């Protein structure tokens, strides 16, 4: 306890960040903060969508969901879109990417579970196998001990 009292808060944070699990937790918290900030910003700016931004957003969603069958997006300059338009387009792209990543993670989890089950099965099978007896090598240690004690 005295050791913790002597450490400054900066040292404690630095020690926590050097820990690999601490780094993962920090990245998770940063991502959660970004997502909540983006959600608040989008809710605030939702009413400020421009006409071009709304149609571009619909086309963008169509292009992501069905790239072969959707109408191509017209090239426009960024000056035609306001901040809310750009934020919504970016948010939709991120959301779609996260959905793809979530599906990939689910497939990986299933593959890992199957591999773990197979490893467990193989471990059980190998533990039930008895090692072969070595009948070709006579046990001379017991005889020598008996002779020395006599």
pLDDT digits (tens, 9 = 90+) for 65-104: 666 776 666 666 666 667 767 777 777 777 777 777 778 8
Q: Which range, 6-10, 46-50, 114-118, is most confident?
A: 114-118
Please answer whether residues 85 and 50 qualify as being in contact, where contact means their C-beta atoms are separated by less than 8 angstroms: yes
Question: What is the percent of the chain where pLDDT is above 70?
Answer: 32
Does 121 have pLDDT greater than 80?
Answer: yes
Determine the length of the chain: 150
Phi-psi region of 137 (alpha: psi -120 to 50; beta: other; left: phi over 0): beta
Q: Which residues, including other chains, have CB under 8 Å from residue 15's CB and lie 6 or more apart?
A: 7
Alpha carbon distance 143, 133 (integer Å): 19
* Full-model pTM: 0.32
């Amino acid at each position: 306890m005295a050791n913790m009292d002597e450490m400054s808060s900066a040292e404690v944070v630095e020690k926590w960040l050097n820990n690999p699990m601490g780094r993962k937790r920090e990245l998770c918290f940063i991502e959660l903060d970004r997502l909540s900030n983006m959600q608040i910003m989008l809710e605030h700016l939702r009413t400020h969508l421009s006409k071009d931004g709304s149609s571009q957003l619909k086309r963008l969603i169509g292009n992501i969901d069905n790239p072969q069958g959707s109408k191509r997006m017209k090239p426009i300059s960024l000056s035609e879109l306001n901040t809310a338009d750009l934020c919504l387009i970016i948010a939709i792209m991120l959301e779609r990417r996260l959905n793809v990543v979530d599906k990939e993670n689910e497939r990986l989890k299933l593959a890992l579970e199957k591999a773990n089950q197979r490893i467990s099965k193989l471990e059980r099978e190998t533990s039930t196998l008895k090692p072969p007896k070595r009948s070709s090598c006579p046990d001379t240690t017991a005889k020598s001990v008996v002779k020395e004690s006599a």
